[in-house]
């Protein structure tokens, strides 16, 4: 509750402050426009925080059940990367995707996995922007698939790697405020992947920060 209250209060305090300035004091039109734009930006951040909180709660408490269909993960990753192309461009990042096979079909909930991998891609863009590129690799095996997402930003300390999937955990609070992270993106991704009977791990050194996702061909169902 303390973590949630702090994260929600920070943008809300800014919104109230700027709107108070706009409504209670004489300002030039340019200044009023600037304050309103800031308040709107903070409102969108608050909306994202609340959306992530609801999403995490639903996944964590089993309120959402996967609807399994056949998903070709090669096409799936290519489609996601196309959707993120503007973000890569805006952050001056190149990306590469290699697959061991032209097709890799598993049974999964495509919408849920899209949310999980979108969070992993967003994380790679946010914290790998200084590295110049993000590399995606898919390997098809007999039991399932392995997908790695590698960025070449700053090395994550080992003590942080142990906590990185914990809800509300941030590697650097100052950097997180700049990038607008909710501290829930990786926790949501992990919840979805675990729900599919898979796993996600992270490692980081001078050769890059690698998130590895392992998914089975068919998830175990109760």
For residue 3, count other CB atoms closer than 10 A to its CB.
13
Q: According to the model, what pLDDT value does residue 160 have? A: 81
Please tell me the predicted confidence (pLDDT) of residue 212: 96
Given strand 144-151, what is the order of strands in its sheet?
94-99, 133-140, 144-151, 208-216, 199-205
Q: Per-block average pLDDT, block size 10, for the chain (222 residues)?
A: 71 89 85 90 84 77 84 96 92 93 94 92 89 94 94 87 71 47 79 92 92 89 52
pLDDT at res. 167:
66
* The pLDDT value given to residue 221: 56
**What pLDDT was estimated at residue 135?**
96
């Amino acid at each position: 509750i303390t973590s949630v209250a702090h994260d929600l209060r920070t943008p809300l305090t800014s919104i109230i402050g700027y709107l108070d300035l706009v409504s209670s004091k004489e300002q030039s039109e340019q200044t009023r426009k600037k304050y309103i734009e800031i308040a709107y930006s903070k409102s969108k951040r608050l909306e994202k925080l609340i959306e992530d909180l609801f999403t995490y709660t639903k996944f964590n408490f089993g309120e959402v059940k996967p609807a399994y269909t056949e998903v070709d993960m090669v096409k799936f990753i290519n489609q996601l990367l196309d959707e993120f192309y503007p973000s890569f461009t805006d952050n001056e990042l190149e990306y590469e995707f290699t697959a061991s096979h032209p097709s890799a079909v598993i049974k999964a909930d495509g919408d849920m996995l899209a949310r999980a991998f979108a969070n992993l891609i967003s994380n790679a863009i946010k914290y790998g922007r200084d590295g110049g590129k993000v590399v995606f690799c898919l390997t098809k095996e007999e039991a399932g698939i392995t997908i790695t997402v590698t960025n070449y930003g700053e090395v994550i300390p080992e003590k942080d790697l142990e906590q990185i999937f914990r809800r509300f955990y941030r590697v650097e609070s100052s950097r997180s405020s700049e990038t607008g992270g909710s501290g829930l993106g990786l926790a949501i991704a992990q919840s979805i992947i675990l729900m599919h009977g898979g796993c996600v791990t992270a490692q980081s050194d001078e050769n890059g920060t690698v998130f590895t996702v392992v998914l089975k061909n068919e998830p175990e169902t109760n």
